[in-house]
Amino acid sequence: MTKLSVNINKVATIRNARGNNVPNVLKVALDIEKFGADGITVHPRPDERHIRYADVFDLANEVTTEFNVEGYPNKKFMDLVLSTKPHQVTLVPDPPEVLTSNAGWKIKNNLSLLQESLAEFKKAGIRTSVFMEANLKDIEELALIDVDRAELYTESYASGYQKNREEAIAPFMDAAKLASEMGVGLNAGHDLSLENLKYFSDSIPNLLEVSIGHAFVADALYYGFEKTVGMYKNLLK
CA distance 122 to 139: 20
End-to-end CA distance of the chain: 6
Helix runs in the chain, H state only:
9-16, 25-34, 53-62, 75-84, 111-123, 136-140, 155-160, 165-181, 197-203, 214-223, 225-235
What is the reported pTM? 0.95
Query: CB–CB of 174/140 below 8 Å?
Result: no
Q: What share of the chain is helix, strand, coil (3-state, %, to 5)?
A: 50, 15, 35
Q: What is the CATH T-level fold of the domain 3-235, as seen in this structure?
A: TIM Barrel (3.20.20)
Please say if 155 is a catalytic residue.
no
**Helix (H, G, I), strand (E, B), or coil: what is residue 141?**
helix
Which of the following is catalytic: 133, 141, 190, 209?
190
Which of the following is catalytic: 33, 43, 66, 151?
43
Q: What is the pLDDT along the chain (237 residues), one digit of tens a residue?
A: 999 999 999 999 999 999 889 999 999 999 999 999 999 999 999 889 999 999 999 999 999 999 999 999 999 999 999 999 999 999 999 765 555 556 899 999 999 999 999 999 999 999 999 999 999 999 999 999 999 999 999 999 999 999 999 999 999 999 999 999 999 999 999 999 999 999 999 999 999 999 999 999 999 999 999 999 999 999 999
What single-letter amino acid sits at 60?
A: A
Q: Where are the domains of the chain?
A: 3-235
